[in-house]
Amino acid sequence: MYEGVVQDLIDELGRLPGVGPKSAQRIAFHLLQADPADVRRFAEVLLEVKEKVKFCSVCFNVAEDDQCRICRDPRRDPSVLCVVEEYKDVVAIERTREFRGRYHVLGGAISPIDGIGPDQLHIKELLSRLGDDAVTEVILATDPNLEGEATATYLTRMLSPLGLRITRLASGLPVGGDLEYADEVTLGRAFVGRQAAT
Amino acid sequence: MYEGVVQDLIDELGRLPGVGPKSAQRIAFHLLQADPADVRRFAEVLLEVKEKVKFCSVCFNVAEDDQCRICRDPRRDPSVLCVVEEYKDVVAIERTREFRGRYHVLGGAISPIDGIGPDQLHIKELLSRLGDDAVTEVILATDPNLEGEATATYLTRMLSPLGLRITRLASGLPVGGDLEYADEVTLGRAFVGRQAAT
């Protein structure tokens, strides 16, 4: 329907997550009319990201050097290791400013349906870190969904012989939400995990 | 929050129409994990679009040559000219396969609020085409909104001295819709424009 390269652009945009055919068209038309310098900068950032962004050799977090900012930071507590699925989970936890330890990014969660087993994740590297390092606590901060829970269960079984403290993030009602809108599982967990009022 | 170039990518993505901060993050993380060859191809298409895509010297439609595919096509009827706001309107009308004439793309609609007056649109070029060409009918196919209607009214006044047939697209109920959900203006127009049942 569209002139060759415009259709190519719409196709490329349509491959991005959350961008449907209509949005892809709208974005393409926007870019057609945009300042060429702006579009060139966008294209350059895309190329740069794939060139510059590496993964930390220690924790597999996103890094611009061999090690990520957090692994290089001597003020971070080396005794607590927070295991997450993805880089974006690191960013989400950093935003809370509640955690001063280090991370280990698995690169996903165990999901037999998607063909992702323990071998596709950075679990071997986690085990060798626990052998070398002065880690005393491992926080399993996988997503609170089926795959995340399966991964945490698997890791708990793998790590318990090491004699470390292994913890999970608390489940319960989201702060600022309405009790009546919480799903049954969340509300159930909030009951099970109830704490003494202070 | 993010490593430098990742944040740059999120910022660039966030500038696209309809891409909020959350979507920009999701797309950026997708690109971080995508095959480098795929991302390179995306970047190249972006650069190519700005390099290759020109605007037709006759009708201002998108073109890869001096003239667009439609202006070059000798089978298109030169006596009917359809005036639209944007390239995407050409594509939408082509999709109907109901129109075999040619187009004139204004490049927008008159909108004093956005500082767009008749001089910012390709109206002068439309008038000179009507002087030269064998055009007998001009279809004003601007958007059925405030700016589109204002533009059509302006063009009707400009073109009526030329003695051509000037038409507008029919207003009425959208096919496949429910009468009760039509807004009052649309329903009102459907009454005014009612036709003999056959």
Whole-number percent of chain A with pLDDT over 70: 97
pLDDT of B77-116, one tens digit each?
999 999 999 988 998 888 888 899 999 999 999 999 989 9
Residue A46 CB-density burial (10 A; 0-12 exposed, 13-18 middle, 19+ buried): buried
ipTM of the complex: 0.72
Residue B156 CB-density burial (10 A; 0-12 exposed, 13-18 middle, 19+ buried): middle
Q: Which of residues 138-197 of A touch B (CB under 8 A)?
A: none
Counting other chains too, the contacts that B73-78 makes at CB distance below 8 Å and 24 or more residues apart are: B75/B100, B76/B100, B76/B101, B76/B102, B77/B101, B77/B102, B78/B102, B78/B133, B78/B134, B78/B135
pLDDT of residue A133: 64
CATH 1.10.8.420 range(s) for chain B read 5-52
Q: Does domain B5-52 have CATH number 1.10.8.420?
A: yes
Overall fold of domain A75-168: Dna Topoisomerase Vi A Subunit; Chain: A, domain 2 (3.40.1360)
Determine which helix (DSSP H) or strand (DSSP E) holds B80, and give its type and residue range.
strand B80-84
Q: Which of residues 54-73 of A touch B (CB under 8 A)?
A: 62-64, 68-69
Q: What is the mean pLDDT of residues B164-187?
A: 83
pLDDT of A101-154, one tens digit each?
999 999 999 999 989 999 999 999 999 999 876 899 999 999 988 899 999 999
Rg for chain A (alpha carbons), in Å?
A: 21
CB contact under 8 A, A6 and B31: no
With 70 as the cut, is the pLDDT of residue B133 above it? no
Instruction: Please list, in sequence order, all residues whose beta carbon lies within 8 angstroms of the beta carbon of residue A147, skipping any fewer than 6 positions away.
Output: A109, A110, A111
Cβ of residue A39 closer than 8 Å to a chain B Cβ: yes
Nearest to B103 by CA among B157, B63, B159: B63
B103 and B94 Cβ atoms separated by less than 8 Å: no
What's the CA gap between B67 and B93, in Å, rounded? 19
pLDDT of residue B173: 80
**Among B9-13, B43-47, B65-69, B171-175, the least confident range:** B171-175
Q: What is the mean pLDDT of residues B62-79?
A: 92
CA distance B35 to chain A (A): 9
Residues from chain B that touch A48, judged by Cβ atoms under 8 A, are 5, 8
pLDDT band with cut points at 50, 70 and 90 for residue B180: confident
CATH 3.40.1360.10 range(s) for chain B read 75-168
CB contact under 8 A, B17 and A26: yes
Instruction: Please list, in sequence order, all residues whose beta carbon lies within 8 angstroms of the beta carbon of residue B173, skipping any fewer than 6 positions away.
Output: B179, B182, B186, B187, B190
pLDDT of residue A1: 61
Q: Which of residues 70-99 of B touch A (CB under 8 A)?
A: 86-88, 91, 94-95
Residues from chain A that touch B30, judged by Cβ atoms under 8 A, are 16-17
CB contact under 8 A, A46 and B50: no
pLDDT of A1-51, one tens digit each?
667 888 899 999 999 999 998 899 889 989 988 888 999 999 999 999 888
pLDDT of residue B183: 82
* Both structure tokens of A65: 């050097």
B174 and B146 Cβ atoms separated by less than 8 Å: no
A181 and A122 Cβ atoms separated by less than 8 Å: no
What's the CA gap between B197 and B194, in Å, rounded? 9
**Among A187-196, B110-119, B151-160, the least confident range:** A187-196
CB contact under 8 A, B1 and A39: no
Q: For B65, which residue in chain A has the nearest alpha carbon? A: A3
pLDDT of residue A195: 78
pLDDT of residue A83: 95
